[in-house]
Amino acid sequence: MGLATDGGLLLPETIPDVRNRLAEWRSLAYPALAHEVFSLFIDDIPSRDLMQLVNSAYSSFRHDEVAPVVPLGRTNILELFHGPTLAFKDIALQFLGPVFEYILSERNEKLTVLGATSGDTGSAAIQGLRGRQNIEIFIMHPHQRVSPLQELQMTSVLDENVHNLAIRGTFDDGQSIMKSLFRDLDFKRDYQLGAINSVNWARVLAQVVYYFYGCYRVLEREGGESVTVSVPTGNFGDIFAGYIARRMGAPISSLIVATNENDILSRFFTTGTYSRGTVAPTLSPSMDIQVASNFERYLFYHCGSDATKVCALMDEFANSASLSVPFGPDGVDSGFQAAAINTEQTLATIAACYQNHGYVLDPHTAVGVAAAQQLAGSGPSLCLATAHPAKFPDAIARANPDAPATHPILDQLKGAKTRCRVIDAKEATVRETIIQTLAG
């Protein structure tokens, strides 16, 4: 259902403590580990069916491990880009597609999926839901503010149930429109709205798994008891999954919030003040966000699971574009570190990594690696590689013209037929577009 009926974000009633199961999970293959984690939260799908859904989700990945770990100097890289769209969003959305179809078939219902993307979520969601029965999917992306390849990955999918909407605005505009439409309960009911953005709890749940898997692989190689994990983030969904994994007992010593110039999250975890700025276009467009939709989930736990306090803080933010919360005696949340990495640092990190290791980082991953180099310390560290570098050839060429940035999946998109509608970034326009499209 995406957003809860009252417009807030859904969370499980309890977070299980799995520290007594860490040893037995350590040797599991990725699908088996995913099944173990999912089973703790999913009690309405029989175990055998759930395992089939998991196997279906990850059979399309091009690496046997699904999410392999590659050692790279002092920092290990968790490659999350071996799915069909070459981005970490595939790991969740290739699972959600079969799950949605399964549930809708069981209930004899239909679903209209509405999503907003800053780049990779849209193509991953479309690949996960294209052609699936009883589902129509509408994806909003900021017109001319995603990379050309990201746009092609979305708009070249011509299945009848896929509808691409390029809005004349920013990702934050699209996210605001989406949340507003979900708060219209009559519209949500009449058009059976559902979500695939990380506002959907199942998206976050699917991402929890690779934190366990990645930390296990690092500790196998390097020893030790815990890992510092650096996460390039803009919308706080990916790193919130890491936060949940850490609460469950995953061997994570701390999480590094790695942002680009759109640094609302790194500023918060440095100062305790969450203050919206103007979105600045960067080399890492999927992180060009100033309002992180998953942030209020973190606030809920930070405020002692006091929903009333969270509502008051979010109202404060809506009215003044800023909120502040108290932290501990040292002024920060001890489970997080934070760094903002600018364009010059991003390019330098890509160039140095290729020169020293022969490994090409995409610009988002480079932000995470640069932050890890600043903050990770001497213990084992892991950086999430969120996209294949071939999705950002211009940035790679700026950093080092000799670094390869191609992939056969993307090469096949050149000259592909596309379908997309460019519309104003207005709630009424998006609403009417959905109504007219579904009316046929």
pLDDT per residue as tens, the chain (440 positions): 778 888 889 999 999 999 999 999 999 999 999 999 999 999 999 999 999 999 999 999 999 999 999 999 889 999 999 999 999 999 999 999 999 999 999 999 999 999 998 777 899 999 999 999 999 999 999 999 888 888 999 999 999 999 999 999 998 899 899 989 999 999 999 999 998 878 889 999 999 999 999 999 999 999 999 999 999 999 899 999 999 999 999 999 999 999 999 999 999 999 999 999 998 989 998 898 888 989 999 999 999 999 999 999 999 999 999 999 988 766 668 899 999 999 999 999 999 999 999 999 999 999 999 999 999 888 999 999 999 999 999 999 999 999 999 999 999 998 999 999 999 999 999 999 999 999 98
89, 179, 188, 391: the active-site residue: 89
Tokens of 343: 């364009």
Enter the CATH code of domain 69-86+203-408: 3.40.50.1100
Distances (CA, A) of 318 to 5, 29, 55: 19, 44, 42
- pLDDT score of 330: 66
Q: Where in the chain is the domain with CATH 3.40.50.1100?
A: 56-62+88-201+415-439, 69-86+203-408
Phi, psi of 304 (to 5 degrees): 70, 35
Distance of CA 412 to the CA centre of its chain: 25
- pLDDT score of 150: 86
- E-state strands within 220-317: 227-232, 252-259, 273-275
- Which CATH code, of 3.40.50.1100, 3.40.50.300, 3.40.50.10490, 3.40.50.720, is assigned to 56-62+88-201+415-439? 3.40.50.1100
Spell out the alpha helix ranges (H) of 141-170.
148-155
Instruction: Confirm whether 417 is a catalytic residue.
Output: no
- pLDDT score of 331: 64
